[in-house]
Amino acid sequence: MKIKSDIATSENGFIFNPATGDSFSGNAMAAQWLLAMKNGKPEEDIKKDILEKYNVSVEQLERDWDDWIVQLKEANLLEN
């Protein structure tokens, strides 16, 4: 899963799609995941970081990740 290269993101979780004008506000976790994805960090590494930093089960993380990807797809922020 790759975030479109022209998507603008900020450290506070604001996302702007310059091709459509859509903008979104994400929380701190969204900002962190977006930044990692934009930097090309592999999915497994992002998940590993989360599991190390936060008290969350693998099952919960997988559910949240799937939900996250669905939201990114709906928002048209992923490369086809």
Partner 1 sequence: MMPENYSTLCIAVTGLNANDNPGPGMAVIRSLKAGFGDRIKIIGLSYESLEPGIYMHEHVKKTYLIPYPTEGTKALLDRLSYIHQQENLDVIIPNFDSELFNFIKIAPQLQQMGISSFLPSHHQLTLRDKLHLKEFGSKYGFYVPADHQLFTADDVKKAADEFNFPMVIKGKFYEAYVVYTMDQALKSFHQLNASWGGPVIAQQYIKGTEINIAGMGNGKGSNISVVAMRKLYITDKGKAWAGVTIKDPEFIKLADNFALVTNWKGGYEMEIMKNEEGNLYILEINPRFPAWIYLTVAAGHNQPAALVKMALGEEATPYGDYEAGKLFIRYSWDHIADIKDFQQISVFGEF
Residue 25 sits in the site that holds partner 1 (CB under 8 A): no
Q: Least separation, in Å, of the C-beta of 64 and partner 1?
A: 29
Q: Token pair for residue 28?
A: 């701190």
Q: Token pair for residue 62?
A: 């997988």
Q: Token pair for residue 58?
A: 């693998």
Residue 72: which residues within 8 A CB-CB, separation 6 or more?
A: 1, 3, 78
Site mask for partner 1 (CB under 8 A), range 34-73, x = bound:
----------------------------------------
The single residue among 10, 12, 20, 25 that binds partner 1, judged by CB under 8 A, is: 20
